Amino acid sequence: NAVGVVVLTGGRSVMGRIANITAGVKQKPTLIQREITRFVTIIVILTVCLASLILFTWVGWLRVDHYGFMNVVQMLNDVMGCVVAFIPEGMPIGVALTLMMVARRMKAANILPKGLATVETLGCVNVLCSDKTGTLTQNKMIVKSVGLLDREYAIDEITALHQQADIPESLASLHRGSLLCNDAFFDPASLSKPIPDREVHGNATDAAVLRFAESIQPAGNLASQYERVFQIPFNSKNKWMLTMHKLPSADSSSGYLVYVKGAPDVLLPRCTAYWSGQSHEVKALDDSAKQLFSAFQEKLSKRAERVIVLCQRSYVPRNALGSNDFKDEIENECTQDLTIIGIYGIIDPPRPETAQTVASCRRAGIRFFMVTGDFGLTAAAIAREVGIFTGTADPDTVSDLPSASDSEGNEKPDRSRRSLLVEGPQISSLRESDWDAICRYEEIVFARTTPEQKLRIVEEFRARDHVVAVTGDGVNDAPALRKADVGVAVVSGSDVAIEAADLVLLDKFDSIVQAIRLGRLVFQNLQKVIAYLLPAGSWSEIWPVVMNVFFGVPLPLSSFLMIIICVFTDLFLSLSLIMEKEEFDLLDLPPRNHKRDHLINFKIYAQSYLFIGVMETLCAHCMFFLYMYRAAGIPFHALVFAFEKYSDGFYGYTQAELTNFNNVGQCVYFVTLVMLQWGNILSVRNKRMSILQADPVRRKRRNPWLALAMLVSLVIAIFVTEVPGLQYLFNTARVPIEYWFIPLGLALGILMMDEVRKLVVRLFPKSLIARIAW
């Protein structure tokens, strides 16, 4: 029943234009990628500096003044040890597995992340722009209000009037037009069900009007009595639909009955009359009637109802039905001199969880905005219903924005103005100062927006260093979804929206709150993983190289054992940190400031290097020197500045014996670090809370993976040091039994020292220790 005319193809079509906008959005590195790049840059600079220092020291000093102490191969071995020490090799694996495990948690919560790198970005989101229809609402339209221009009817009242023998023609026309000017129809298989439960084929607006009309009085054979001979379907440009019908028992010379249904702001200027609900007669649409119409429309809009107007007229066409000029004639002539026969107020009920989701996001410090194509007053009413707008005052509009001169010099944003309503057509005329003012509002609704305007909104907020998440389900949302730091689509949305998004909500809309919680948890746990890896995997591995090169001490830890710590023993324990639950309610905290609160900052370096790292380094070196003294009788002062003297004849030992002592001492250092990391991991799993409040055994913070990971690290240490084949291959050696138990007490000491630090932080929150606490 249609003729298709191709006017534009490919990228020139409307869909193609939206696709081009979406594809043209350049993807920036995610926040976690930037954080990792920043950390790697710092590590590489430090590594190059220390490696260069070792090289120049060997060339300018050791090779000259201590000839025979270190040959080229040994120097390169120390340089390699420096690289291994500074770069925590287990960190890339730990980060990837952390993101993967949190992604699995998201999947269990019906959230599908399409990329691991965007998982953490959710924890930084401070602006959330959400589409309305189908995202905040159920996309189930219901006719809530109905009336004629000068009278509103209760639906029960109209139903009762239709039961009477003498039905007013005004209401009969409304009912007839509701059924005829409608492309929706009931699924035949569901006709036996109650009207609200029947399945409807057609768009949501037509479905709502059909259910309303059918509940008033069944259609019967109305469609066959008023045969449809022509129609112009609804489109977003015209914002109306038109149907033309034969009159019963009349030929074409008597004319046709034409119905037009659509947006009131488009159809009202084309109307010249209306059916009165007071007198039940047709009256002229004068200025007073137009004021009544505007008041009625405003009343419905403020009740969060989308207003649709139904009009009719009779028309005798000049051109033959189906001729080439017929459509142009109908479109030009039949949309003029219309008579208003009904006004609908249609609601799309909010999802039950929407209000709580908005409240949870606001509690988490996230500003929740609505970006929709709906009429401004309707969007504002829904925003107030779900909690996006709070208070009772009317929202500001663009005309209320401060001028550039008013806002000049204001360092602190004015938070007294909370709510703002911006209409899409106004966006193109906004200046930079206007956007600066808009971005300071706490509650914003953008109404009547196009895909390009939605994209512009995201760009403006991102340009002001906000981390923006966008939720949507339609094709029109795709460019904004792609441009946002995190694009979130709902599973019932269009394929284009799902393709453009980074996350897909598979169930209820409130699962986005859980996604934000997990995004913050992944950042917290990543910090714990890094704080755990750095003391042994970096700091305590650097100092053996420093002691060897600059103080002449036999190398206390080999490069092979450094790699074992980084890639095996520490890795398994760090994975147990991934499984840690949140220490406190993460939604009570503000979003992370990605410009200031870095993944690895001075506080973590201070904790990992200057506190835990120093203790582990001292303990491990003490164990090394203790073994050398007890096993070989070589005191500490003899080993320091030994340089080339540590060779054949030193303290009466052969070179082979000295090498064996050094190999065992390196394994003692290695075993000590493995054990000390047990105390470290029990410390870093809680930033503020004592282990007595949140131990890994009791249910609230239970983590069975921790004990398993400790056991695995112990097995690896035993395997590396006790297996004869590996001893020969990698110059390791059997560690005396006492050196397996002494580090346990030292690990407990590290845990107790960190408990004292946490106690000071809790008791004296303004102290220096508290200010530098991670």
Catalytic residue numbers, as ranges: 131
Q: Is 343 helix (H, G, I), strand (E, B) or coil?
A: strand
Say how far apart CA 683 and CA 611 lie, in whole Å: 12
The tokens 């002539």 sit on which residue? 333
Say how far apart CA 504 and CA 487 lie, in whole Å: 9
Q: Is 232 helix (H, G, I), strand (E, B) or coil?
A: strand
What are the contacts of 493-500 at 24+ separation with CB within 8 A? 493/134, 493/135, 496/18, 496/19, 496/22, 497/472, 497/473, 500/22
Say how far apart CA 20 and CA 160 lie, in whole Å: 53
Q: The tokens of 386 are what?
A: 């779900």
Say how far apart CA 512 and CA 112 lie, in whole Å: 11
Say how far apart CA 607 and CA 528 lie, in whole Å: 11
Rounded to an integer, what is the distance from CA 47 to the centroid of its chain? 35
Which residues partner with 368 through β-bridges? Answer: 128
Say how far apart CA 729 and CA 108 lie, in whole Å: 45
Beta strands in 459-544 (DSSP E): 468-472, 486-490, 503-505
φ/ψ (deg, to 5) at 276: -85, 135
Contact 482, 500 (CB under 8 A): yes
Determine the length of the chain. Answer: 774
Residue 106: C-alpha distances to residues 120, 511, 517, 663 (Å): 12, 9, 10, 47
DSSP code at position 552: -
Neighbouring C-beta atoms of residue 489, cutoff 10 Å: 30
